[in-house]
């Protein structure tokens, strides 16, 4: 699984030049993970990734995720990444795809809580349908989020929206308040 799905990922990278991981697909999916990587490439963005079907489905969020209930954050779907990528932190060399600094801004498990017509549906089917409900168990992001595709099936533009629950918080701007890696405690500036 995941083999052909990662073709785009591999084609964009030179593994002799970048410290980014190749893939090994060792994770079982009983406790799928999510990760948010803060990535200072040409433009700062936050890569939101969820493990499913042997890969990390991925979206680039220019403004980063929010804790504010109902706040919509544009999330542009990008190519699937290998599951090992979830622990990647470091510098992608100049001239390589996505060149710049990466830290693991948040990481944890998630649960698919998508329900359609009263029935639980798989992540794969929810992605197809363009409507996903995720419960995140991160260090910074907790509780339920909706991920909703805008427009047609071919559209790469999705919205990440915090649901109203006990972890929602309208007062904190989480991306500016909490800037450090959950793995190393480093900020992106410390990698520059």
Residues at the contact surface with Mn ion, assessed by CB under 5 A: 39, 47
Distance CA 25, CA 106 (A): 21
- Output the CA–CA distances (angstroms, integers) from residue 51 to 43, 78, 178, in the order listed: 25, 14, 24
**Residue whose CB is less far from Mn ion, 47 or 144:** 47
The minimum distance between CB 84 and Mn ion, in angstroms, equals 16
At 132, which helix (H) or strand (E)? strand 131-137
Residue nearest to Mn ion (CB): 39
What value, to the nearest 5°, has the Cα angle with vertex 144 and ends 106 and 183?
A: 10
The minimum distance between CB 47 and Mn ion, in angstroms, equals 4
The minimum distance between CB 104 and Mn ion, in angstroms, equals 13
Q: Residue 24 CA to chain centroid, in angstroms?
A: 19
**Residue whose CB is less far from Mn ion, 98 or 130:** 98
**Residue whose CB is less far from Mn ion, 17 or 116:** 17
**Residue whose CB is less far from Mn ion, 121 or 141:** 141
- Output the CA–CA distances (angstroms, integers) from residue 31 to 28, 50, 153, in the order listed: 7, 11, 28
The minimum distance between CB 180 and Mn ion, in angstroms, equals 18
| Phi, psi (degrees; rounded to nearest 5) at 109 | -90, 165
**Residue whose CB is less far from Mn ion, 48 or 145:** 48
């Amino acid at each position: 699984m995941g083999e052909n799905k990662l073709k785009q990922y591999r084609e964009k990278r030179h593994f002799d030049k970048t410290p980014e991981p190749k893939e090994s697909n060792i994770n079982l999916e009983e406790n799928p993970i999510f990760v948010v990587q803060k990535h200072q490439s040409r433009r700062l963005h936050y890569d939101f990734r969820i493990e499913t079907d042997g890969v990390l489905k991925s979206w680039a969020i220019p403004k980063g995720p929010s804790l504010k209930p109902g706040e919509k954050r544009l999330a542009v779907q990008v190519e699937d990444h290998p599951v090992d990528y979830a622990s990647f932190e470091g510098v992608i060399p100049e001239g390589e795809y996505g060149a710049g600094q990466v830290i693991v801004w948040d990481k944890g498990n998630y649960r698919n809580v998508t329900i359609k017509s009263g029935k639980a549906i798989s992540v794969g089917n929810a992605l197809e349908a363009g409507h996903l409900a995720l419960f995140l168990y991160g260090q910074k992001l907790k509780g339920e989020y909706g991920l909703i595709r805008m427009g047609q099936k071919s559209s790469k533009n999705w919205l990440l929206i915090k649901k109203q629950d006990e972890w929602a918080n309208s007062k904190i701007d989480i991306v500016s308040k909490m800037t450090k890696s959950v793995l190393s405690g480093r900020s992106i500036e410390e990698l520059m």
